[in-house]
Amino acid sequence: MKRIAVFCGSSLGASEAFKEGAVELGKELASRDITLVYGGASVGVMGALADTVLDEGGKVIGVIPKFLAEREIAHQRLTKLYTVETMHERKAKMADLSDGFLALPGGPGTLEEFFEIFTWAQIGVHQKPIGLLNIQDYYNPLMKLLDHMVEQQFMKEKYRSLAILDSNSKNLLDQFDSYQPQDVKTYNN
């Protein structure tokens, strides 16, 4: 795994644990020589993650739309910063640059990015691992929702396992290393 896209908030959240989790992940990425691909901001969980990877000697690629470059304060120390026109271009560029995807705690934008990548895996647009760093059980309600989707037969159980959940960065990245892609969704299986 050479590059991992991380979706996360431009805010720090209610708990210091979210920033600490981003720092832990940043150190782990740098120690494994994995390039961080992220939203390009210098604020919030995004900024803490990028700063840590850079401070630890790692590489960071940011992708930010022009209209957010000032609002989210584009990071100035990145290895590479792509400025794009739209959020759609941002997500497509991040996906093209990455070998896997990981979500830290964040808001609706983080979930939107996660679900697009999750859906793309389900329908065969990519076969890359997708993880959720479950800091302070942040993603437990989301996992219950995915279970509910399976129970209500809107998603097959085998696709539920596309979301790799762990509260520890090292363990989560270890699971990425052994990831085996699912079969592509068809409507007769």
Which CATH number characterizes residue 114's domain?
A: 3.40.50.450
Total structural domains in the chain?
1
Q: Is residue 189 part of a domain?
A: no
Residues in the chain, pLDDT under 70: 72, 184-189
Separation CA 187–CA 105 (nearest Å): 32
The CA-based angle 131-165-19, given to 5 degrees, is 75
pLDDT tens track for 89-101: 999 999 999 999 9
| pLDDT at 95 (0 to 100) | 96
Cβ atoms of 164 and 132 within 8 Å: the answer is yes
| pLDDT at 72 (0 to 100) | 63
| pLDDT at 176 (0 to 100) | 95
| pLDDT at 1 (0 to 100) | 83
User: How many CB atoms sit inside 10 A of residue 44's CB?
Assistant: 22
Helices 16-31, 44-55: inter-axial angle, 10-degree rounding: 30
> What is the Cα 174 distance to its own chain's centre?
15
Q: Is residue 101 part of a domain?
A: yes
| pLDDT at 182 (0 to 100) | 73
Domain of residue 18, residue span: 3-177
Q: Is residue 186 part of a domain?
A: no
Separation CA 156–CA 60 (nearest Å): 35
Q: Is residue 185 part of a domain?
A: no
Q: Is residue 95 part of a domain?
A: yes
